[in-house]
Amino acid sequence: MIDDREKTPRVMIAGTGAYLPERILTNAELETMVDTSDEWIVTRTGVRERRIARPDEATSDMAIPAAKQALEDAGVSAADLDLIIVGTVTPDMIFPNTACLVQSAIGATKALCFDLSAACSGFLYSMETARGLLLSGLYETALVIGADKMSAVTDWEDRGTCILFGDGAGAVVLKKTFTHRGIMATSFGADGSLGDLLMIPGGGSRCPASHESVEQRQHVVKMAGNNVFKHAVRCMTEAGREALEKAGLTIADVDWVIPHQANMRIVQAISDRVGIPMERFIVNLDRLGNTTAATVPLALDEGVRDGRIKRGDVLLSIVFGGGFTWGATVLEY
Ligand code: UT7
């Protein structure tokens, strides 16, 4: 007799990878650039330093080494990839998409390639999209990357935002499985009516690049920080709870929480509200700042490589970003 469970496919993380630019920008250096202080940045955000890509280092240049490392970790050849999705809001250019640039660099000749724009939720949104495509039966193996070069779109004269962001890339290889719990449940949402609280208005068809648009600083991040903060805490808490409930799990079942890393006070508020102690959160915000779509895969890769996250552990990842977009994923690593 065939066991029913063996007929139900799931999607699991087969390998992880990461890439960080070398240059470290400290709070002390920011003190020389805008009217701020290390003390303010640390107490209000938790960020101490962040990585900044070289001027000639674009988002794909960070995504490619992260992708190669994830493929190696998964023992998967690039030629076997069916799908590449890059979550990013800082593509190398409007088109070709970043996923195509990665495809060509790694030799993933048969992969379908596209970018997904969901700001800080970009990686989990991409993973959810890949999961759906793998479960559709059309594809077997996917590469999902979260990569952003936020330094290219940061307003270095705005002390309310420039202290937050950093650059980096993280990647996972996803495979279909019949023997592993993999991704158990998810909860995703969006609210476009609040989009103007966090945006880059210029560079698209609404406000194409012009001398005026550059003079008006339309090509950099605009954020109503305080307002975003409140929505982030509410949406992330609700999504986290709902995903756990759908998975039939409680907070006691969660080994590690991998939150989007925007502000330590947001992470702390989620820990308090969801009821999972901070010791079970993987946090790298102090060293990397907010790397937008890369925060979750970077923290995941770090936890896996330093031995905290082990095969069989239950992970809860929760994100929130511009759009607004948000989501949570519960999975067995
Ligand atoms: O990743 C996607 C989602 N993004 C987020 O989740 C970000 C969410 N927001 C935040 O992390 C916080 O709102 C910020 C860190 C951006 C700002 O912290 P805040 O506690 O909300 O500060 P605030 O904007 O309410 O500003 C408080 C004061 C203001 O001065 P006044 O008006 O009270 O005199 C600001 O001008 O702090 C001032 N301020 C600063 N002072 C020193 C703002 N930025 C700085 C700074 N250094 N860098």
Q: Which of 191, 175, 192 lies closest to 234, judged by CA?
A: 191
How far apart are alpha carbons 242 and 118 in whole angstroms? Answer: 20
CA 196/CA 262 separation, integer angstroms: 18
13-41 pLDDT tens trace: 999 999 999 999 999 999 999 999 999 99
Is 97 a known active-site residue? no
Q: Which atom of ligand 1 is nearest to the CA of 321?
A: 2
Cα of 296 vs centre of ligand 1, distance in Å, is 23
Residue 235 is a catalytic residue: no
Q: Are 292 and 165 in contact (CB under 8 A)?
A: yes
The residue whose C-alpha atom lies closest to atom 19 belonging to ligand 1 is 226
- To the nearest 5 percent, what fractions of the chain are helix, strand and coil? 40, 25, 35
* Start-end of H helices in the chain: 4-7, 27-31, 38-45, 59-74, 98-106, 122-135, 211-215, 225-247, 264-274, 285-288, 295-305
Does residue 181 register a pLDDT over 90? Answer: yes
Cβ atoms of residues 129 and 303 within 8 Å = no
Q: Which two tokens stand for residue 182?
A: 């993999």
Residue pair 285/47 in contact by the 8 Å Cβ criterion: yes
Token pair recorded at residue 62:
């960070």
Q: What's the chain's average pLDDT?
A: 97
- Determine the pLDDT at residue 6: 54
Q: What is the pLDDT of residue 3?
A: 54
Instruction: Give me the domains of the chain, ranges plus CATH numbers.
Output: 4-179 (3.40.47.10), 184-332 (3.40.47.10)
Q: Are 300 and 16 in contact (CB under 8 A)?
A: yes
Q: Each residue of 192-240: pLDDT tens digit? A: 999 999 999 999 999 999 999 999 999 999 999 999 999 999 999 999 9
Give distance in angstroms: CA of 20 to centre of ligand 1.
Answer: 26
Rounded to whole angstroms, the Cα distance separating 317 from 40 reads 28
- Asked if residue 289 lies in contact with residue 164, where contact means CB atoms within 8 angstroms, the answer is yes
Which of 97, 180, 260, 284 is an active site residue?
A: 260
The stretch 138-151 carries a mean pLDDT of: 98
pTM score, two decimals?
0.97
Query: CA 93 to CA 76: how far, in whole Å?
Result: 28
Q: Among 31, 35, 37, 44, which residue has the most ligand 1 atoms within 8 Å of its CB, making it the best to mutate?
A: 44
At residue 8, the pLDDT reads 85
pLDDT band at 54 (very low <50, low <70, confident <90, very high): very high
Single out the catalytic residue among 27, 97, 100, 120. 120
Which of 37, 154, 226 gets mutated to test ligand 1 (max ligand atoms within 8 A of its CB)?
226
